[in-house]
Amino acid sequence: MASIETVTLEVADPTAARRFYTTAFGLDTQVRLRASEAPTTGFRGFTLALTVSQPATVNGLVDAALDAGATSLKPAAKSLWGYGGVVQAPDGAIWKIATSAKKDTGPATREIDEIVLLLGVADVAASKRFYVAQGLAVGKSFGSKYVEFAAGTSPVKLALYKRRALAKDVGVSPDGTGSHRLVIGGTAEPFTDPDGFAWEAAAPAPTP
């Protein structure tokens, strides 16, 4: 089964971005960084979501991100599905921190249960067919609205959402041009999907 092995964000200053992600979320090896000055404006068509166990952990990670230089797009709050907030990292990537729990069951931690890469696509059904043809296995599917692929042993789960719906969910305009500033490393051969998201053969993790 094909899967995501790495997620690389293209940023103007990799050193500053690494400092942010380590300080804000404790992410060290899960997200890679690559220097890029590729033109990009507005919504880049994707978000990264951190799923955690309880609201206190959401609050802690959101506060840590803001203290490290992130911008709040949606303050942490309760919703029908749980509790969460959205921030934009200094490099421009959008992060959602959320839990399905509505009450705390213990002290806050910095433990992340799951990392999900959500791609905003023009046609969910067509992109689903494309990814299945690339060897990804569907985990959950809600018609033409949302698709989640089985993660297996991958450190990052892939999901598809309509671009406009994804932008609305994180509180930004769906308009955007230029580079996605994202490269996905996978077990399959390199390819580019119908919405311009690039996949490359995942390279081994760099030695410390």
Please choose, from the candidates 88, 3, 17, the residue with its C-alpha nearest in 3D space to the C-alpha of residue 47.
88
Given a contact cutoff of 8 angstroms between Cβ atoms, the answer to whether 188 and 179 are in contact is no
Residues with Cβ within 8 Å of 204's Cβ and at least 6 positions away in sequence, in order, are: none
Please choose, from the candidates 119, 203, 114, the residue with its C-alpha nearest in 3D space to the C-alpha of residue 154.
114
Q: What is the pTM of this model?
A: 0.94
pLDDT, tens digit, for every residue of 33-76?
Answer: 999 999 999 999 999 999 999 999 999 999 999 999 999 999 99
Strands 71-78 and 83-88: antiparallel
For the chain, the average pLDDT equals 94
Q: What share of the chain is helix, strand, coil (3-state, %, to 5)?
A: 20, 40, 40
pLDDT of residue 204: 61
pLDDT, tens digit, for every residue of 152-201?
Answer: 888 899 999 999 999 999 999 999 999 999 999 988 789 999 999 999 98
Going by the DSSP 8-state scheme, the letter that residue 172 receives in this structure is: S
pLDDT of residue 85: 98
pLDDT of residue 206: 55
1, pLDDT greater than 70: no
* Of the listed ranges 16-20, 42-46, 98-102, 200-204, the one predicted with least confidence: 200-204
